[in-house]
């Protein structure tokens, strides 16, 4: 990603959540850069400042990236409010 203007489109907690965001955005053709505290990655901390992962994209993709990540949140809310099938 060589664009001069990059913006943070999300802050998530945990390396797995960050990688999920990366894969979702890259699958939609958006270049992504993740930034996190090194200690959080080494010790697998997913809470607080050490667990924070920031998701950066080129500014021209920011709106599209936010929409994609917001759709993920909508899907999770719908799944959590669905009735138990048993």
Q: Does domain 6-80 match CATH 3.30.70?
A: yes
Note the pTM of the prediction, 2 decimals: 0.71
Alpha helices, DSSP H only, in 5-86?
Answer: 15-27, 38-43, 48-51, 62-81
Under 8 Å between Cβ of 61 and 3: no
Q: Would you kindly state where each structural domain of the chain is located, as residue ranges? A: 6-80
Return the pLDDT at 47. 53
Judged against a pLDDT cut of 80, whether residue 25 lies above it is answered with yes
pLDDT category at 29 given cuts 50, 70, 90 is very high
């Amino acid at each position: 990603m060589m664009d001069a203007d990059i913006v943070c489109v999300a802050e998530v907690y945990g390396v797995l959540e960050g990688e999920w965001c990366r894969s979702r955005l890259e699958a939609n053709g958006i270049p992504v850069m993740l930034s996190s505290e090194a200690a959080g990655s080494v010790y697998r901390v997913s809470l607080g400042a050490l667990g924070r992962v920031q998701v950066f994209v080129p500014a021209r993709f920011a709106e599209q990236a936010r929409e994609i990540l917001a759709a993920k949140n909508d899907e999770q809310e719908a799944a959590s409010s669905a009735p138990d099938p048993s």
